[in-house]
Amino acid sequence: MDAPAQTRSPSPTPYWKNGQMVGTADAVVSVFDHGLLYGDGCFEGLRFYGRRPFRLDRHLQRLRRSLRALAIDIPYSEDDLAQAVADCIDHSGQDQGYLRILVTRGEGDLGLNPANCRSPSVFILASPLALVSDEARQQGITLITSSIKRMVGSGLDPRVKTLNYLHSILARAEANAAKVDEAILLNQFGQVAECSAENLFIFDGTHLLTPPLQDGALGGITRETVMELAVAEGIPCREQSLTGYDLYNARECFLCGSGARLIPVRAIDGRTLATCPGDVYLRVSGAFQALIAKACG
């Protein structure tokens, strides 16, 4: 499990809602909010360490791009949101944890028409987070290929981190039923997109490979960081379309995401990989930890 978060006394107003800190009872949305009714909105999830948010600038930039793509205009600048994030961390009582920035189109009516939503709702919350056990990081996790298909980039652009995670939820339910840790989603052409909540990398013995965005992968901030660190470590890295054949024959596989960070994989669809955790994973994971220490230490 991730190292236990050091705590201070939490505030009675630990959430930020539409410009002010509020308590749990007021951190709510209307039943007519289109985020609740239709998944109409987007979000960002990021970690904080030493009470400092990691890669906040990149997350806020991606949020702005998502909002622009969805035609949602919020009355807060990136500086406003950065201050709100700092306030949430301060009120949380945690020295490290997870942040969620969530935007909905706002309250409307039961119709789909977004013009009937009067103003967007913006929430920020900070929470403790321990997604991955020490055992999983040391021994690796197991995956299956889900029957649920991810939409390719010609549909809803995967660069938009929307509130609609039903594909991922159904895929994770399949993983639960199969008694494995995670599920891989393919697109309708049989190409690997990503896992239910993480991007995927394999090492084929020569290159570190990850599916391109047009195959349905989210443009993850951690994915982007891993690619940068691999290059800095002298590890050849590129985007490439992958199939089950590539996964089964990979020397290494690992997942990455803001919440989970990096996680090695030991088996896919019952096939044990050559190494876990592998040398490439250990090098990149070590570089990632060093980056966190430098940015937030």
**Hey, which residues are catalytic here?**
161
Cis-peptide into 120, omega within 30 deg = no
CA nearest neighbour of 110 among 31, 28, 200:
31
Task: Print burial letters for 165-197: b (CB count within 10 Å at least 16), e (below 16).
Answer: eebbeebbebbeeeebbbbbbbbeeebbbbbbb
Strands (E), 105-191: 121-127, 141-150, 182-187
What is d(CA 62, CA 43) in angstroms, rounded to the nearest whole number?
Answer: 9
192 neighbors 246 (Cβ within 8 angstroms): yes
**In this structure, how many other beta carbons lie within 10 angstroms of the beta carbon of residue 292?**
19
Bridging pattern class, strands 141-150 and 182-187: parallel
**In this structure, how many other beta carbons lie within 10 angstroms of the beta carbon of residue 10?**
12
- Helix and strand numbers (H, E) in the chain are 8, 15
On the 0-12 / 13-18 / 19+ scale of CB atoms within 10 A, 39 is middle
The sign of the torsion formed by the CA atoms of 55, 170, 191, 65 equals negative
- Contact residues for 153 (Cβ-Cβ < 8 A; gap 6+): 213, 214, 215, 216
